[in-house]
Amino acid sequence: METVVVLGSETLLGKTLQRMTQNGEFQQYTWIFAESTDLAPPGDAKTPFEKHTPDIAISFTLTEERTDSQSGNMREALLVACNTLHGAFLANTHRVILCAKRRDSVVRHPVRAPSTADGTHIEETIDALCQSYNREYGTSFAALLAPTVFGPGGSYTPKGEVSVHSLISMCMVAVDEEKDLVLCGNPKETIQTVYAVDAARLAVSAIKKDESPLVVPGTDAVLEDTVVAIARESGFKHSIVFDTRHENTSPAPTASEHFPAACQTPFNDALRETIHSTKAGLLNSISDS
């Protein structure tokens, strides 16, 4: 049985995949979950690659932003990717799936895409790095470029980003304060997103794929429809107002034939599960305080 080490167990995708394995999925592998910080442990502590010499590694460490600095984002992405690939090479890990958020997966105010000075973006750099390792060492690495991920256990998103989680948070605040929900931008713009359960399944299925980069097919959710669905599930009764003086910039729709459509959870079902989980979490935090 092959051993898979998952880096980034603290991320939404990491927590989701761990929960899925605990519920009996993917039992053809032995699973080890490690946090992102374990890649650079203090002192003489060993990395997950040194401890476990896994056959396969899946990294979710780049699926969530950690800094508002574009250059900081790029430096961290390159450092994480290099540490992951180098550790895998030393441990004779034969397959690495590096997952990173695509730059065109969210609506932003203002648009802010992590990039280098010459305009090269994170996903292009990560894929180029994987390709160079493939050529140099004959080892199989792939970059799985996921859109913004949402699902139970997700958290607030970076300031200025319109995503499913930020819309849920805004709607719940409006419910609590009994106020109208005011959003900037065109209600017909889209948010490209993917449900965490689907993204985790696709990352595991990428173990057996040869293409690189692999692009997760996200859902192009219309902003207005998404907000209305969130409002309905949240019990929001007031008005939803779009301030069109401040336009969003939305991603162009993308398509992928790498994965079957059967892998995708219906968007409204995924949204309902996420909202109910978020509401339950809020109620628990209130009762504990």
Whether the model clears a pTM of 0.85, i.e. scores above it, the answer is no
Cβ proximity of 246 and 285 under 8 Å: no
Length of the chain: 289
Determine the Cα–Cα distance for residues 216 and 203; give it in Å rounded to an integer: 9
pLDDT for the residue numbered 31: 97
What angle do the packed helices 223-234 and 164-177 form, to 10 degrees? 50
E strand or H helix at 94:
none
Closest CA to 142 of 85, 75, 83, 102: 85
Distance, CA of 118 to CA of 224 (rounded, Å): 35
Domain total in the chain: 1
Q: Which residues of the chain have pLDDT under 70?
A: 42-45, 65-74, 102-123, 155-162, 210-214, 217, 245-263, 280-289
Which range of residues forms the domain containing residue 199? Answer: 2-288
* pLDDT tens column, 224-249: 888 888 888 888 888 888 877 655 54
State the Cα–Cα distance between residues 98 and 148, nearest whole angstrom.
15
**CATH number of the structural domain spanning residue 250:** 3.40.50.720
Q: Report the half-sphere exposure of 67 (CA within 13 A, side-chain side).
A: 12
Q: Which residues contact 36 (CB under 8 A, 6 or more apart)?
A: 7, 8, 10, 11, 61, 80
> Among candidates 72, 35, 71, which has minimal Cα distance to 51?
35
